[in-house]
Structure 1
Amino acid sequence: MPQLPWDKIDTVLLDMDGTLLDLHFDNVFWLDYMPQYYADKNGISRAAADAYIRPLLASYTGQIQWYCVDFWTEKLELPIRQMKQNTAHLINLRANSDQFLQALQKAGKRCILITNAHRASLDIKLKKVHLEPFLDVIISSHDYGYPKEDQRFWECLSQAVDFQPERSLFIDDSLPVLRSAQRYGIGYLRAVLQPDSQGPEKDCAEFTPSMDLNDLVSDLPSTH
């Protein structure tokens, strides 16, 4: 993997789910726990629940609604917040995320969390993993009304947060999001190779893959 030119990077923009956090929680929640809950609540088979829910989820892919707790609470008539609380024991950091963040902090890099997660989901996860001490700014795309896949997200971010796109590194596990960041002019991009610790490695396409976040900071000088 080519080393990053850290002398040209001031700001590190970080995705949450699948980048800092193990995507296993979200995959279990959306693909197993929630459809089973829906089936039990409505007295239908799991197969029937999947047949209804999976295409419905897919139809909102890349839109702000896909990530919205309130939207799915109303659409499916399910207590999504409470359901996420019920499964919060599955929320975990990806391997070495905390060491990676500590290295960035020691090197004086500005760390900004930019997530498509709804604030309700974000609050549940941050209570479990305690990332706030390592982050300078925490942004949910719901703050702006546009997901990271949308160029308007990046325009809103640049108005709200002082950073130079060309001197920023962005790490995410979503190819559409990375392509959106690339179009906006983010200077350095890395894709997460295995966002779900219990899932397969993914095709990172045109982006440089990252398996272990710690590898990205192996040559990062500390200012402390």
Structure 2
Amino acid sequence: MKYKGIIFDFDGTLADTLPLCFYSFNEIFKKYDQRDLSAEEIVQMFGPSEAGIIQQNLKAVDQIDKAVEEYYWHYDRAHHEFVGFDPHLRQLLNGLRNEGYRLGIFTGKGRKSFDISMSKLQLEDFFDVTITGDDVSSPKPDAEGLYKILEVWEMDKTQVLFVGDSDADIESGTRAGMDTVAVAWFPGSHGRFTQTPTHYCNEIDRFKMLIKP
């Protein structure tokens, strides 16, 4: 097979967590800044971890630490209301693992919210390496997290595919010299890219066909 490893983004790629993220961020910005942000405005903030997003965008700078903790409280409390897991994605991950692919995650999420979602969705056993926004000094679109995974796997960039749902993902993969797949397979996917991916998939079945040997 052409690829030996596949790295996934998380939010909007492996799990439809974006509505939960939008809800949790809006609770924070409404309370502390009296701002009601659109989904598009929040997406424009993506790249850093949740803590980084709040630190960079909250006007009530004296409340940042409290706001970050409240974000995680909302994220945990409301997770079951907003997030399920697509059985087709579970089948995909099972199939990839059984076919011998190494699977990893590079997400801008902070480790705390990432671990909440991985546990609630029972995804921990699929991935042998996970890099979050807390594990890098330079967030997406920097490729630092991808380089870290390549080092762990001891693979060349040409052997690894990076899959994501945002411009930051595609630019990160491009900077690392990897082939990239832009995906928009969730109902709420923003699906608009100014970066040019190697491939584009709006259906999980199309992704399966893409990686067939």
**Contact 2:184 2:202 survives alignment (8 Å):** yes
**Contact 1:97 1:214 survives alignment (8 Å):** no
Q: What do you get for the CA RMSD once the two structures are aligned?
A: 3.3
Question: How far apart in 2 are the matches of 1:204 and 1:93?
Answer: 28
Letter in 2 for 1:15: D
Change in Cα spacing, 1:110 to 1:33, as seen in structure 2 (3 Å) is: same
Letter in 2 for 1:177: D
1:11 aligns with 2:5: yes
Question: How far apart are residue 88 of structure 1 and its match?
Answer: 1.1
Of 12-21 and 95-104, more deviation after overlay is shown by 95-104
**Contact 2:157 2:177 survives alignment (8 Å):** yes
1:178 aligns with 2:170: yes
> Alignment partner for residue 106 of structure 1, among 89, 95, 98?
98
How many residue pairs end up in the alignment? 201
2:23 aligned partner: 28
**Contact 1:19 1:171 survives alignment (8 Å):** yes
Question: How far apart in 1 are the matches of 2:190 and 2:12?
Answer: 13
Change in Cα spacing, 1:116 to 1:199, as seen in structure 2 (3 Å) is: closer
Letter in 2 for 1:50: D
**Contact 1:194 1:200 survives alignment (8 Å):** no
Given the two structures, how large is their TM-score scaled by the length of structure 1?
0.74
Given the two structures, how large is their TM-score scaled by the length of structure 2?
0.77
Per-residue CA shift, 1:162-203, capped at 9, x if unaligned? 2221011111011122122112111x21101244x2456434
Bigger CA radius of gyration: 1
Give the 5 Å matches for 1:107-186: 107-186=99-178
Question: How far apart in 2 are the matches of 1:126 and 1:58?
Answer: 21
Question: How far apart in 2 are the matches of 1:110 and 1:59?
Answer: 31
Question: How far apart in 2 are the matches of 1:132 and 1:66?
Answer: 21
SS in 2 for 1:13: strand
Question: How far apart in 2 are the matches of 1:143 and 1:200?
Answer: 26
Question: How far apart are residue 70 of structure 1 and its match?
Answer: 8.3
Per-residue CA shift, 1:144-176, capped at 9, x if unaligned? 222131133334443344222101111101112
> Alignment partner for residue 206 of structure 1, among 196, 199, 211?
196
Question: How far apart in 1 are the matches of 2:46 and 2:4?
Answer: 32
SS in 2 for 1:77: helix
**Contact 2:170 2:195 survives alignment (8 Å):** no
Change in Cα spacing, 1:209 to 1:219, as seen in structure 2 (3 Å) is: closer
Question: How far apart are residue 12 of structure 1 and its match?
Answer: 0.4
Question: How far apart are residue 80 of structure 1 and its match?
Answer: 1.9
Letter in 2 for 1:77: K
**Contact 1:69 1:80 survives alignment (8 Å):** no
Letter in 1 for 2:196: E
